[in-house]
Chains A and B, each alone.
Chain A
Amino acid sequence: MNAHDEDRLKELLQQALPPVEAAPEPGRDLWPAVLRRLDASPAATPLRFWAWFDGALLAGLAVFAAFLPASIPVFLYYL
C-alpha cells in the first residue's frame, strides 16, 4: 500500500464515519447525587439492621456465657 492508497483509505473512512461531536457535560456535579441515592437505596437499611442484629446477638452470647459459665463446655461439646 503506497502513500496515495493510504490517503485514499483515510478519505473514505472519514466519509463513511460521521465526526464525533464533543459530549455535552452536565451543568453540575452529579457525584453528590449518586452518593445520596446510594445512601437512600432500600438495600442499605436492611444491611445496617442485620449488622446491628448480629452484633447484638454476639454480645448477648458473650453476656450469657459470662453469667452461665457452665454453658461453655456444653457449647464446646456441640462444636
Chain B
Amino acid sequence: MNTHPYLRAYLAGVFVPTLVLPLLLIVFIVVRIVLQVPVPIERGMIFPMAVVPSLFGLWNMLYMCSHPHTHLPIGLHGAILPLIMAPVGALVATCLHVLAFGAHGVTWFQAAYVPYMLIAPCFLAALAGYYLVWKYIVGSLNRVLGIA
C-alpha cells in the first residue's frame, strides 16, 4: 500500500465534495426545473463542481506532504482551507453574479440575504464545519487508505 500515496491522498480529499455534488444537483433540479424558481443556481454550481473537489484533493496532498514537518492535526489543516476558499469563492460568485454586495449585507443566489454583521459568525461556522469534516471524514479515509 505504499504505491501512489499522493494519488490516494487526492482521492481521499475529493471524497466529501463528490458526495455533496449529487445533493446540489437534486437541489438544482427541484428548485429550477420542478418549482421553476428564478434563482441562478446553475451559475453558482460552477465553483462547487469545478473548484472545490480539486482544492480538497490538493489540500489533502499538501497535508500528506507537509505533515512530517509540521505535525499539524488534520482537523486544523482542514480548518485553514476556508481562509483560501472564502475569498476565491466570493470572487467567482461575484463574477458570475451569484453574490451581490449591498449596503447592509450580501445576497447569495438573489435570494439568501446575509447581513454583514453575520459574515464573521458564518466564517467561524465554516471553520468549525471544515474542522469536523477533515478530522472525521478525510482523516478516517486517510487511515483506511493507509496514508495517515
A residues at B contact (CB < 8 Å)? 54, 57-58, 60-61, 64-65, 68, 70-71, 73-79
User: Chain B: how many interface residues by the 8 Å CB criterion?
Assistant: 34
B138 part of interface (Cβ distance < 8 Å)? no
Inter-subunit contact A74/B132 (CB<8 Å): no
**CB-CB under 8 A for A57 and B112, given A78-B126, A79-B20:** no
The number of A-B residue pairs with CB atoms under 8 Å apart is 67
Closest 9 A-B residue pairs measured CB to CB?
Answer: A70-B112, A79-B20, A57-B128, A64-B125, A73-B112, A71-B122, A74-B108, A70-B114, A78-B89
B135 part of interface (Cβ distance < 8 Å)? yes
Inter-subunit contact A74/B122 (CB<8 Å): yes
Q: Which residues of A contact B121 (CB under 8 A)?
A: 64, 68
Interface SS of A by simple majority: helix
Binds A, one of B5-13, B44-52, B64-72: B44-52
